[in-house]
Amino acid sequence: MRVRLTGGRVLDPTHGENGVATGATRTIEIADGRLVEPTDLPAEEYDLGGDIVMAGGIDLHSHIAGGKMNLARLLMQEDRRAYPEMPGAFCGCGGGRASPSAHATGCRYAELGYTTVFEPAMVGSNARGAHLEMADIPNLDTGAYLVLGSDDYLQRLLATGAAQEQINAYVGWMVEATQAYAIKIVNPGGINAFKFNARKLDLDEANPHYGNTPRKVLQTLIRAVTELNLPHPIHLHGCNLGVPGNDETTIATIAAAEGRRLHLTHLQFHSYGTEGDKHFSSSAARIAEMVNANPNISVDVGQVMFGQTITASADYMSQYRNRPLGSPKKSIGMDIELDAGCGVVPFEYRDRNFVNALQWAIGLELFLLVEDPWRIFLTTDHPNGGPFTTYPHLIRLLMDRDFRNAQLATLNKAAQKHTLLPEITREYSLEEIAILTRAAPARILNLKDKGHLRTGGVGDVVVHTPDSDAEKMFSKARYVFKNGTLIVKDGEIVETVTGTTHVARPQFDRGIEKDMDRWFDEAIGLKAKHFRISDGELRGGAGPTILKCERTGS
């Protein structure tokens, strides 16, 4: 089927095309799910009348699947009660906002104009469940980052001084076996140290049992993904999340990358100083300066948005610390044996609370002080900083300085005195928003046919009607096409389609397989061949979209 969109102003920062600024319109045509050169062939035509056309949004960090989200759903019946399934004939979506059902996740994202979302923390032992869940999410292409670093196999390798080659082979085997796209490190080695009674672990502090430092874990895995040529750099949730004074750790971590590519995720939670009466302050300016000075570093913010949400993380060391702050007062902590951990704590960010208000301000400071929009991404670390449905509000905060300052004026008074925000004049342009939400994520994820609108690209196209209120503009897309199929019209779901799952296939030394078989037999009690997920298990048998990683260095 052929779809033709005429009269739209195209915003495609990947190719420097900015129809909003020039006023030029261009016809976009989609055939068989791909963007093609415009033709005269019969097609389903849409006259856009000057509306803005962009590629489908890409969220590179949003917890949408995996064991912890199911735990969050179980724990937060409140969420399902406050946001029940929407009435209406079409979409039997299920409900929820902070921990929406798989179906609601796909539909709510699509309404905002997103068509690709990556689950950033899949633990190996939960990979099969995560993939089954992703297959249940309509309208979105997905992919998952595998959590490594606190797993006992890697810790043992590091402790016995294994060669980098062997570690590369292990990482490659795990990525293939779990059908992952990238490697995430959560609190490098810290989750493992927690199990040996450590309650904090700094970058150069040794694991009480294995003796490995987070620096060693991080540097070894950075080398591994570089040498395996995985498309995305190490996706790092650093040490000391949420601890005042973690700015020093973050700066040391950037230095520890030693010029290699590294992605720091939910940086807002890692940018806290210890100044002031309350010993909690913003270090966003310092961190942003470091990020600006190190082009090998990319970041996403993990903006805090006020209201009820739920936090779910593999970092049980920090979740254990946060348990008493939970609201409603309940939480789940789990040991994922030999793999990682899991902590789920409901949380309500309050605008009258000093810490929460300052967290909000720190996130915005990072957005506004990091200069290169190609290296910073728009996230709330859904649902940890806030549900993804708050993105339109967040976009308005970035694009509208008066609105931002008006919001700031309503927050906790002491927090207002601790932020630079009123002095920052920067306002994001529409083009920069398009970079943050589609072009840049496509580039950092090495998705060559996404995030842009040139021939050959995937037919994921979003049309927004311009509005001076950016929140209104981005809340409801006028049209969303997924692979050329119209799925959203005037902000309402009109169709659900099946997406694909992106996986990376590195080349590695198959000699590791014998050792993996033995490890699974002896320690895990499950055959390695049963742990491995076959292509046919993904997306209801349709299989993944595979990115082959050509091996470069050794």
Partner 1 sequence: MAGLHLKPRAPFATRADLTGITPSGLAGLSRAEIERLAVPHGAARLPLAELFFVESGPDGVLLIEIGDERLDHVGAGLEAGEIIVDGAVGAWAGQGMSGGVLRIAGSAGAFLGAEMSGGVIELAGHAGERAGGASSGSRRGMSGGLLAIRGNAGPFLAERQRGGLITVGGAAGEGLATDMIAGTVAVAGGAGPQLGRGMKRGTVLLHAAPELPAGFIDTGSHDMIALRLIARRVPELAGFLGGATHARRIVGDTLMGGQGEVLVV
Nearer to partner 1, 330 or 472 (CB): 330
SS3 content of the chain, % helix, strand, coil (to 5): 40, 20, 40
Stretch that binds partner 1, among 21-29, 78-86, 312-320, 416-424 (CB under 8 A): 78-86
What residue ranges in 114-268 does DSSP mark as E strands? 114-122, 141-148, 182-186, 234-237, 262-264
Min. distance of Cβ 450 from partner 1 in angstroms?
37
* Distant-in-sequence, close-in-space partners of 74: CB < 8 Å, separation ≥ 6: none
Nearer to partner 1, 96 or 214 (CB): 96
> Amino acid identity, residue 269?
F
Assess 348 for contact with partner 1 (CB under 8 A). no
Mask 388-407, x = binds partner 1 (CB under 8 A)? --------------------
61 neighbors 266 (Cβ within 8 angstroms) = yes
Nearer to partner 1, 265 or 496 (CB): 496
Min. distance of Cβ 87 from partner 1 in angstroms?
8
CA separation for the pair 324, 322 (Å, rounded): 6
Nearer to partner 1, 168 or 309 (CB): 309
Q: Per the structure block, which two tokens stand in for 23?
A: 């006023």
Min. distance of Cβ 147 from partner 1 in angstroms?
30
What is the C-alpha radius of gyration for the chain, rounded to an integer number of angstroms?
22
Stretch that binds partner 1, among 32-40, 63-71, 72-80, 245-253 (CB under 8 A): 72-80
Min. distance of Cβ 332 from partner 1 in angstroms?
15
Assess 328 for contact with partner 1 (CB under 8 A). yes
Assess 510 for contact with partner 1 (CB under 8 A). no
Assess 259 for contact with partner 1 (CB under 8 A). no
Assess 449 for contact with partner 1 (CB under 8 A). no
DSSP 192-213: HHHHTT-S---TTPPPTTT---
Assess 81 for contact with partner 1 (CB under 8 A). yes
Nearer to partner 1, 16 or 87 (CB): 87
341 neighbors 314 (Cβ within 8 angstroms) = yes
Single out the residue of 1, 47, 49, 77 in contact with partner 1 (rule: CB under 8 A): 77
Assess 22 for contact with partner 1 (CB under 8 A). no
Single out the residue of 68, 80, 263, 482 in contact with partner 1 (rule: CB under 8 A): 80
Assess 85 for contact with partner 1 (CB under 8 A). no
Beta bridge partners of 10: 53
Stretch that binds partner 1, among 75-83, 204-212, 219-227, 247-255 (CB under 8 A): 75-83
Min. distance of Cβ 83 from partner 1 in angstroms?
10
Nearer to partner 1, 79 or 365 (CB): 79
Min. distance of Cβ 69 from partner 1 in angstroms?
18
CA separation for the pair 372, 292 (Å, rounded): 7
CA distances in angstroms from 183 to 150, 175, 230, listed in the order given: 12, 8, 9
Q: Per the structure block, which two tokens stand in for 7?
A: 């009269």
Min. distance of Cβ 329 from partner 1 in angstroms?
9
CA separation for the pair 268, 376 (Å, rounded): 12
What residue ranges in 248-306 does DSSP mark as E strands? 262-264, 272-273, 281-282, 297-300
> Amino acid identity, residue 261?
R
CA separation for the pair 506, 175 (Å, rounded): 8
Stretch that binds partner 1, among 81-89, 233-241, 360-368, 473-481 (CB under 8 A): 81-89
The residue behind tokens 């349709």 is 542
Min. distance of Cβ 531 from partner 1 in angstroms?
35
Assess 82 for contact with partner 1 (CB under 8 A). yes
CA separation for the pair 422, 33 (Å, rounded): 45
> Amino acid identity, residue 34?
R
Assess 327 for contact with partner 1 (CB under 8 A). no
CA separation for the pair 474, 452 (Å, rounded): 18
Q: Per the structure block, which two tokens stand in for 136?
A: 């249940």
Question: For residue 516, how many C-alpha atoms fall within 13 Å in the half-sphere facing its CB?
Answer: 22
> Amino acid identity, residue 409?
A
Segment (H or E) for 346: strand 340-349
Nearer to partner 1, 87 or 324 (CB): 87
Assess 546 for contact with partner 1 (CB under 8 A). no
- Helices 512-519 and 164-178: crossing angle in degrees, nearest 10, is 70
Q: How many residues bind partner 1 (CB under 8 A)?
A: 8
- Helices 246-256 and 284-293: crossing angle in degrees, nearest 10, is 0
Stretch that binds partner 1, among 79-87, 221-229, 287-295, 306-314 (CB under 8 A): 79-87
Nearer to partner 1, 346 or 506 (CB): 346
Stretch that binds partner 1, among 76-84, 113-121, 432-440, 488-496 (CB under 8 A): 76-84
Stretch that binds partner 1, among 74-82, 301-309, 467-475, 518-526 (CB under 8 A): 74-82
Nearer to partner 1, 88 or 259 (CB): 88
Q: 340-349 and 307-313 as β-strands: parallel, antiparallel, unpaired?
A: antiparallel
Nearer to partner 1, 81 or 472 (CB): 81
List residues binding partner 1 (CB under 8 A): 77-82, 87, 328
